[in-house]
Amino acid sequence: MTMDFIQYGLGRWLHILSGVMWIGLLYYFNFVQVDALKAAAADTPPTGGGITKHVAPRALFYFRWAAVATVLMGLMMLGDKVDDALLFKERAYIPIGIGAWLGLIMFFNVWVLIWPNQKKILGIVSATDDEKAKARRIAFLASRTNTMLSMPMLFFMSFSATFHRALIG
Amino acid sequence: MKNPLDTLAGTVISGLILTAVLYFLARAMMGA
């Protein structure tokens, strides 16, 4: 009972809390910040310095660590069924398996493509102008890919509990 | 051809299409 409460009660609650923060910040970057920085760069003089200096690093901090918490809580909830889901061993676990794979691909994009390139863009690590331009494009496309993947990911996460019953009966 | 991920509309439409494709894939995998 206690273990069930930790695994499914607290686990699900923390999975959703951290997932809201992760995907919420992802949508902030894609739906707000990208266009805001573009408009700020066109101002004379450019006005985006405050966003780059004060907002983006804080947003990225919560973004990448919320991703870690979301994945850890998701794996905790799957527990010993993790292989049934990720290897599609059991029919009932196929929907959550697809959702979990989408989440894991997004997690990879955050830590391997977005964050290392954002460090170059924001000047946290040194980079030439050419390297910064390349980093900007990679981080942008990885972020947009995650926005695209978030749509089926959320579909399968929210529908997985009833998917099997709805389709198979 | 332009990358659909370069625009927000293209990103959202791609997400919707991918959702539909994966939905039918999941159905087929489950034998529904």
Q: What is the structure's pLDDT at A164?
A: 72
- The token duo for A3 is 């273990």
Length of chain A: 169
First to last CA, chain A: 28
The interface predicted TM-score of the complex, written ipTM, equals 0.96
Q: What is the structure's pLDDT at A166?
A: 75
**Which of B23, B25, B27 to mutate: most A Cβ within 10 Å?**
B23
Contacts 24+ apart (CB under 8 A), A116-119: A117/A142, A118/A56, A118/A60
Half-sphere exposure for A131 (CA within 13 Å, toward CB):
12
- Whether residues A164 and B30 touch (CB distance < 8 A) is answered with yes
Under 8 Å between Cβ of A49 and A81 = no
Sequence letter at residue A78? L
Q: pLDDT (tens digit, 0 to 9) for every residue of chain A, 169 residues total?
A: 688 899 889 999 999 999 999 999 999 999 999 999 999 999 999 999 999 999 999 999 999 999 999 999 999 999 999 999 999 999 999 999 999 999 999 999 999 999 999 999 999 999 999 999 999 999 999 999 999 999 999 999 998 878 777 776 6
Residues in chain B with CB shorter than 8 Å from the CB of A145 are 5
- Whether residues B32 and A147 touch (CB distance < 8 A) is answered with no
**Which of A96, A155, A159, A163 to mutate: most B Cβ within 10 Å?**
A155
pTM across the whole model: 0.94
- Whether residues A168 and B30 touch (CB distance < 8 A) is answered with yes
Sequence letter at residue A37? L
For CA atoms B4, B8, B12, B15, the dihedral sign is: positive
Q: Which of A81, A98, A79 is nearest to A163 (CA)?
A: A98
Q: What is the structure's pLDDT at A168?
A: 66
In B, what residues contact A, Cβ < 8 A? 3, 5-6, 8, 11-12, 14-16, 18-19, 22-23, 25-27, 29-32
Segment B1-31, tens digit of pLDDT = 899 999 999 999 999 999 999 999 999 999 8
Backbone angles phi, psi at A8, to 5 degrees: -100, -30
